[in-house]
Structure 1
């Protein structure tokens, strides 16, 4: 399978189906997007791109929360664990979606209330909405 990633200026990018992440419930506002590929730009190791294969115009920039000095302690329910096939010894990554907030003068904002949980073993993911998290943190783009 090959896809074009217009935002990164890439054409005919080969995608191994074994490397895809499946989001059984999609991502908030994009529930029809279930299959995603994780990419990163050369030389920009802190920002990754979660590219939808169901709608190639849908792409989310994501970063590890540690890059923004954010630390999570997330409790997943049994239903959450079942959704992403999470078992005790699986490796999990937590990332946050970032975006440019034009209403705040172009600052980079992180959606800290809804981190993305990736099970690196089952290659399934979910967006976990947290109720007791402080408002989105803003950072000046460089």
Structure 2
């Protein structure tokens, strides 16, 4: 399937890699179909590229690359919506925001994207952990410790 993304230009997408979001992303609830793309030259940065609106692409990372102890508590009911029994079976990604001043970059640890890789279903879910913030400071000038597992 050929798409013409605003950010990445023309891409040949394998339709079996399309991820369906049950409720969409916060602020983009009407957009349900996405694909994960690698960021050129980066081992840790990925992009959630909307298939429904090719102008929308959001930067995401495996949060454990920056926060090795990151362990969101997600309700059983939320995990059930995408067919996950244990969060360890999911791919967990967090959306980052990078303003013009890179030193003010933030990561949304409060509402991670939880993906069931077996059936390509996902949703953005609210972590019950009180210590996680929507705009948690993120230092991008240091190399992260890990990579995005399973992307």
Name the TM-score class by shorter chain.
Answer: 0.7 to 0.9
**TM-score normalised over the length of structure 2:** 0.79
1:97 counterpart SS class: strand
Q: Structure 2: which 5+ residue stretches go unaligned?
A: 142-151
Structure 1 position 81, deviation (Å): 2.6
RMSD, aligned CA: 2.2
Whichever structure has more strand as a proportion of its residues is 1
**Hey, what does 2:126 align to over in structure 1?**
129
Structure 2 distance, partners of 1:138, 1:117, is 21
1:92–1:119 CA contact under 8 A, matched in 2: yes
Instruction: Please tell me whether residue 2 in structure 1 is matched to residue 2 in structure 2.
Output: yes
Report which structure shows greater RCO (CA 8 Å, sep ≥6).
2
Q: Structure 1: which 5+ residue stretches go unaligned?
A: none
Structure 2 distance, partners of 1:80, 1:98, is 22
1:118 counterpart SS class: strand
**TM-score normalised over the length of structure 1:** 0.84
2:74–2:127 CA contact under 8 A, matched in 1: no
